[in-house]
Amino acid sequence: MSEPHGRPAGLSPYDGLVARASALDTGDPLAPLRDRFMLDPAGPAVPAGPADPAQDGNGTVYLDGNSLGALSTGVLPRLTDVVNREWGELRIRSWEESGWWTAPERIGDRIAPLVGAAPGQLVVGDSTSVNVFKALVAAVRMAPAERTEILVDADTFPTDGYIAASAARLTGHTLRPVPAAGIAAAAGPQTAAALVNHVDYRTGRLHDLAAVTAALHAAGALAVWDLCHSAGALPVALDAAGADLAVGCTYKYLNGGPGAPAYLYVRRDLQPRFDSPLPGWNSHADPFGMAGDFQPAQGAPRGRVGTPEILSLLALDAALDVWDGVDLAEVRAKSLALTDFFLECVAALVPAGRVASVTPQAHAERGSQVSLRCADAGKVMGELTARGVVGDYRRPDLLRFGFTPLYTRYADALRAARVLADVIEGTA
């Protein structure tokens, strides 16, 4: 990579990328939000000489928000108050006086606009895996008895596949894995429900939520969507698409923190039929009645199970403050511009033939990450991390870079591509 190390007189292609990154960052309407996160200084985007760990270590470029979002500055003060006052002083009174009891639904209503849902359809709690199980089994129970098939993306995130297989065994259904692009066409008269990823975790491919949902409905099947890699990175329109059920995590693009509780969406007209396979005292119509027979609560609380995980719920609540007033159209525009710019920088700086993007070029098919096929991906990502560019990799050969529009800069994208180029040259 000769340009950065020995630039000729005048504006080189590399200098042009630097100038463009600066201009894009200056004009970014979301740029002020970066100050609401605890991030290292960005460090120099353009070192004067060859990259080395000491030089690149001056600040971290964090491109792993698709695995764990950054900490927002409002979380620690909120948790300090929760621990010291609500738990430490009020203790049991906080279930009522501090609103702990209603937190799962209240915080669900805060997430609802980010996934295109009206209030009263989301409940927050449990893990994504547990909510996938609830949603898929409940979907199968809502389907006519003669429908004995569950469809699942053949390349889905492993847990989704494991749970789909367990749900099939539990309900006496047949599980049929099919390529994600073929799920809509594969649905037929035997299909009860399909579990579909909105964005593929390996490649970043975005699937058409509205079109796939419509095709499943046309076949008489229900659609269960996994939004883990889309919510908070791009607009999601659950209500407009008529999606039946959906689940998602909150620790990626929603920045809720490690192990933050997930959410479950049940379309309003389906709620009276939602038969959870995990009924608990918290989802009972009269939880403190301690009745021996289960009577489900009305509405979203049917998705609850046990005692809410208050500390992590309220950390998430504080993290969601960052989203107040944010325009999701601007988030999507920046996500696409960032990933476009990163791909352009990689093409310009990384030696030809050493990496290949498996992320779709078409905007309509792209989430908010870029995945590059690369030999020795684990070794390369380890070296990138040592030099201050944090992404991740998936075996055997994929480098993953997640672009979180609320805090990622265009200068970060350029620096990541430059350091990647140096690392690739060093492994030649």
Q: Catalytic residue positions?
A: 157, 226, 251-252, 400
Residues near 210 by beta carbon (within 8 Å), at least 6 away in sequence: 237, 240, 241
User: Does an H or E element contain 20, and which?
Assistant: helix 13-26
> Which residues in 5-26 are b (16+ Cβ under 10 Å) and which e?
eeeeeeeeebeebbeebbebbe
Helix (H, G, I), strand (E, B) or coil at 73: coil
Distance of CA 96 to the CA centre of its chain: 32
Q: Do the beta carbons of residue 388 and residue 413 sit within 8 Å?
A: no
User: Does an H or E element contain 185, and which?
Assistant: helix 183-186
Token pair in block for residue 109 = 């209503």
User: Residue 326: is it exposed, middle or buried by C-beta count within 10 angstroms (0-12/13-18/19+)?
Assistant: middle
> What is the rounded distance in angstroms from the CA atom of residue 103 to the CA atom of residue 23?
42
Helix (H, G, I), strand (E, B) or coil at 215: helix
Q: Do the beta carbons of residue 150 and residue 194 sit within 8 Å?
A: yes
Residues near 88 by beta carbon (within 8 Å), at least 6 away in sequence: none
> What is the rounded distance in angstroms from the CA atom of residue 124 to the CA atom of residue 285?
18
Give percent helix, percent strand, percent coil of the chain, each to the nearest 5. Answer: 45, 15, 40
Token pair in block for residue 14 = 């590399």
Residue 109 CB coordination number (10 Å):
18
Amino acid (1-letter code) at residue 336: L
Token pair in block for residue 404 = 């979180």
Residues near 396 by beta carbon (within 8 Å), at least 6 away in sequence: 377
Q: Do the beta carbons of residue 36 and residue 73 sit within 8 Å?
A: yes
